[in-house]
Amino acid sequence: MTTLVKAWKAAQERLAAARIDQPSIDARLMLEAAAGVSRVDILTDPHRELTAEQAQAFDALLARRERREPVSQILGRKGFWKIMVAVTRDVLTPRADTETVVEVALAAFPDTTQPISVLDLGVGSGAILLAILAERPAARGLGVDISDEALAVARENAANLDLNTRCALLRGDWTAGLADENFNLVVANPPYIPSAVIETLDPEVRDHEPRLALDGGPDGLDAYRLLAPEILRVLKPGGVFAVEIGWDQAPAVEALFREAGALNVQTVKDLGDRDRVVTGLKNPLETQG
């Protein structure tokens, strides 16, 4: 028999030997799942013994992680902002960097009673849209994705968070079929990895996340070329957009939105001090001709 603390330490060493980043955190998360314990249990009752079944389950989870399967997919969930979302191979694992999109969106609409309309293009798991709706109870949202499998995950997450009554999810190709000037806020985390770079990514991303959500074309900018004018089309006058970008793409993406007519275009850095979100607004005086 082994104890919580012994199992945790042995797992850290095992994952470190497999060159896994953050072996301590990964080992703890999987131990919590396998043994049905919390972080507090591990810290306050470290000598609690695992049952044979718990030890076997923990070993199975560690074996999957050694094969570079992401912890989010092993456990089927990931914390993002202040919510927990289900995660599968059909959606990107939401990352802390992407929380910058949420921060920008909430800062643009600080009034929690304002009835804003939100569009999330390439909604995936729903993490961005649902995080915003959870913070803005008067808001309503539409999430669009071309993947039926991703939409199924987003629907599950919306229901689990009791946000499905304020959130519609639609299968579509970006803004195709959407009417003009419908939304106060448009957010997106489009594919932005250059095609040739994808094979150099960590196995957790390269082998386990949907290529459709990663591949941004030869220079990583294909989606932004399509989205910049379309986002401006579906925004209401004075409406705000916030799109995630790759660390070196700010000048190019800013230029695309300025060319499309956006005002106050700027880039916001993430917590790692890297360019992460391009944001701006539609001319408040603009009307459809």
Give the CATH number of the domain where residue 251 resides: 3.40.50.150
- Predicted local confidence at residue 286, as pLDDT: 72
Please state, in angstroms and as integers, the Cα–Cα distance from residue 262 to each residue in 231, 252, 256, following that order: 10, 14, 9
- In the chain, % of residues over pLDDT 70: 99
Judged by average pLDDT, the poorest of 34-43, 113-122, 150-159 is: 34-43
Q: Are residues 12 and 135 in the same domain?
A: no
Question: 45 by DSSP, 3-state: which?
Answer: coil
- Predicted local confidence at residue 289, as pLDDT: 46
- Predicted local confidence at residue 70, as pLDDT: 95
187 vs 42, higher pLDDT: 187
Q: Is residue 40 part of a domain?
A: yes
Q: Last residue of some domain: 52, 67, 82? A: 67
Residue 285: which pLDDT band, with cuts at 50, 70 and 90? confident
Q: Are residues 130 and 225 in the same domain?
A: yes
Owning domain of residue 27: 4-67
Phi, psi of 240 (to 5 degrees): -115, 145
In tens, the pLDDT along 51-98 reads 999 999 999 999 999 999 999 999 999 999 999 999 999 999 999 999
Sign of the Cα torsion 111, 112, 116, 118 reads positive
Q: Are residues 40 and 149 in the same domain?
A: no
177: left (phi over 0), alpha (psi -120 to 50) or beta: left
Q: Is residue 10 part of a domain?
A: yes
Q: Are residues 137 and 274 in the same domain?
A: yes
Q: Are residues 18 and 154 in the same domain?
A: no
Q: Are residues 62 and 101 in the same domain?
A: no
Here the tokens at position 284 are 């408040």
Residue 240: strand pairing partners: 185, 281
Q: Are residues 201 and 258 in the same domain?
A: yes
Determine the residue type at 244.
E
Q: Are residues 97 and 57 in the same domain?
A: no
- 288 has pLDDT over 80: no
Residue 162: which pLDDT band, with cuts at 50, 70 and 90? very high
Q: Is residue 257 part of a domain?
A: yes
Q: Is residue 77 part of a domain?
A: no
Q: Are residues 146 and 187 in the same domain?
A: yes
Measured N-to-C along each axis, helices 52-66 and 4-17 cross at an angle, to the nearest 10 degrees, of 20
Q: What is the mean pLDDT of the chain?
A: 95
Q: Are residues 189 and 265 in the same domain?
A: yes
Q: Is residue 79 part of a domain?
A: no
What domain count does the chain have?
2
Q: Are residues 134 and 227 in the same domain?
A: yes
Q: Is residue 147 part of a domain?
A: yes
Helix then strand then coil, in percent of the chain rounded to 5, is 45, 20, 35
Q: Which helix (H) or strand (E) holds 144?
A: strand 140-145
Count Cα atoms within 13 angstroms, Cβ side, for 66: 14
Q: Is residue 165 part of a domain?
A: yes
Q: Are residues 114 and 176 in the same domain?
A: yes
Q: Is residue 135 part of a domain?
A: yes
- Predicted local confidence at residue 1, as pLDDT: 77
